[in-house]
Amino acid sequence: MAKVSVGLRGWRFDEEEVFTDDGEWAPLDEMPDDARNRLLRLGLLMDQPCDACYLEHGEEEKRRANPAEIVYGEPGDEVLLCNEHEPDFLYWFREEGGSELAGEETFRDEFHEWFVAGNSAPEGYGPDEHVEESPGELPNLPTPEEAQHRLEQSVEFEEKRYDLRAPESDDEEGGELDVSDLDLDTDYPGSG
């Protein structure tokens, strides 16, 4: 099963889970929950700045921040990085205990604190080599609105109506429910 990155490097998807044999997006409702959630989250992250650049330059100078090219972590607690700052993150993750926080709510915050304290990777500490096979041939990632619309279109929504009235006879539906023999004064545990 081939693994592919979509939009940003870092999160890897099983190609068979997100694409059809024709290279089109698989219907969102047919994707595993994790893949679908990550794809929808990617739609929100695509144009965001690198976290480390943003921390260096601040809100007023965020136009100087490089755009994110890499995503690590879990959806909602991810770290966005440019190529320049990926070694810093990898050093923190591998050598400074960041891996122990994987999956924790504090993952991103702990990296931010480490970086803001002036820490960085030693000179020459490099990231893994990334293999990108025909990234331009991958379908464009849908916007969150398009993804939600596709999900709604692909899931058959049925409105079910249930008639809770007791049938008047075996061959007739509807009627009144006879409640004369119900004991409505029953005390239940914790109710009094």
Number of folded domains that form the chain: 2
**φ, ψ of residue 32 in degrees (nearest 5):** -60, 150
Within this chain, do residues 83 and 107 fall inside the same structural domain, yes or no?
yes
pLDDT score for 8: 92
Q: Which domain holds residue 107?
A: 47-127
pLDDT score for 142: 58
pLDDT score for 58: 87
Within this chain, do residues 61 and 93 fall inside the same structural domain, yes or no?
yes
71-87 burial code (b ≥16 CB/10 A, e <16): bbbbbeebbbbbeebbb
pLDDT score for 67: 94
Residue 37 lies in a domain: yes
Residue 189 lies in a domain: no
pTM, to two decimals: 0.66
Tens digit of pLDDT at every position of the chain (192 positions): 688 888 899 999 999 999 888 888 888 889 999 999 998 899 899 889 999 999 999 887 878 899 999 999 999 999 999 999 999 999 999 999 999 999 999 999 999 999 999 999 999 897 665 444 444 444 455 555 665 555 555 444 434 444 445 455 555 555 555 555 555 555 545 544
d(CA 166, CA 172): 10
- Give tens-digit pLDDT for 126-167: 766 544 444 444 445 555 566 555 555 544 443 444 444 545
Within this chain, do residues 70 and 115 fall inside the same structural domain, yes or no?
yes
d(CA 116, CA 131): 30
